Amino acid sequence: MLEINDLIFRWPGAADATLHIPKLEVAAGERVFLHGPSGSGKSTLLGLLSGINKPESGHIQLLDTDLANLSDAARDKFRADHIGTIFQNFNLLPYLSPIENVMLGCNFSKLRTQRVSASGNTLTQQAQQLLQALGLSPEIMLRSVSQLSIGQQQRVAAARAFIGQPELIIADEPTSALDADNRNTFIELLFQQASQYGATILFVSHDNSLAPLFDKQLSLVEMNEVNQ
């Protein structure tokens, strides 16, 4: 699914590199926990994995595609087609309903829209099914997102990431606003959806107590040779 070799990234004008990762591999279907303290470069790495930034040198192979060899527009399309992201602050549109927010996950990807159609569902039906599987009742689905609790908004963000079956789900500190019980419940729901759709999960957090829930645990501090 994902392979990194000799990755070096340096912000423009910076004397020192932010990241130097000699090797990283993630298999298809794995549930990976990536941890590191604030400022360790987690967000920078996610930007590289999703094609927002390009490395100074090295290779990022995602689904047998080297992201560094793609143009900016091609990386944007690749990200929209193959990566679903759950952001720390969810990035939902407050004036839309949960169903409308979930459907936005396919707005920039014909491939993900085609996958929904191939399943025999409309986008609305697929959004409803995902929200129901993640524990939202039909009446909540019709409310404005601004009326939802933090936990409910989080599930809407997860459904948006999964719609259209992207192969990789990147979850960036998505449980930071939840208590321990709700964190674990949300992760279990995440795993259920990933199993159903065959998705790989890269879950990023500074909360090491969550690590035992995952197949693989990675420390960015240990991987990043800039820190050594």
Identify the CATH number of the domain in which residue 191 sits. 3.40.50.300
- Residues with Cβ within 8 Å of residue 119, at least 6 apart in sequence: 126
Q: CA–CA separation, 35 vs 30, rounded Å?
A: 16
Interacting residues of 139 by C-beta distance below 8 A, sequence separation 6+: none
Tokens standing for residue 42:
């987690």
Q: Residue 22 is encoded by which pair of tokens?
A: 């000699």
Q: Which two tokens stand for residue 176?
A: 């930071």
More confident residue, 20 or 180: 20
pTM: 0.94
Quick one: average pLDDT of 113-123?
A: 96
Q: How many domains does the chain have?
A: 1
Q: How confident is the model at residue 228 (pLDDT cuts 50, 70, 90)?
A: low
With contact defined as beta carbons under 8 Å apart, do 195 and 188 qualify?
no
Does residue 61 surpass a pLDDT of 70?
Answer: yes
The mean predicted confidence, pLDDT, of the chain is: 93
How far lies 221's CA from each of 6, 36, 156, in Å?
16, 6, 31
Q: 25-57 pLDDT, tens per residue?
A: 999 999 999 998 888 899 899 999 999 999 999
Average the pLDDT over 143-147 and give the result: 94
Mean pLDDT over 194-204 rounds to 95
The domain of 174 spans: 2-227
- Listed in order, strand segments (DSSP E) in the chain are 2-9, 19-26, 31-35, 57-62, 65-66, 83-86, 168-172, 200-205, 216-219
CA angle 214/219/223 to nearest 5° reads: 130
Average pLDDT over residues 141-160: 93
**Where does the pLDDT of residue 198 fall: very low under 50, low under 70, confident under 90, or very high at 90 and above?**
very high
pLDDT score recorded for residue 227: 66
What is the enclosing helix (H) or strand (E) of 162?
Answer: helix 150-162
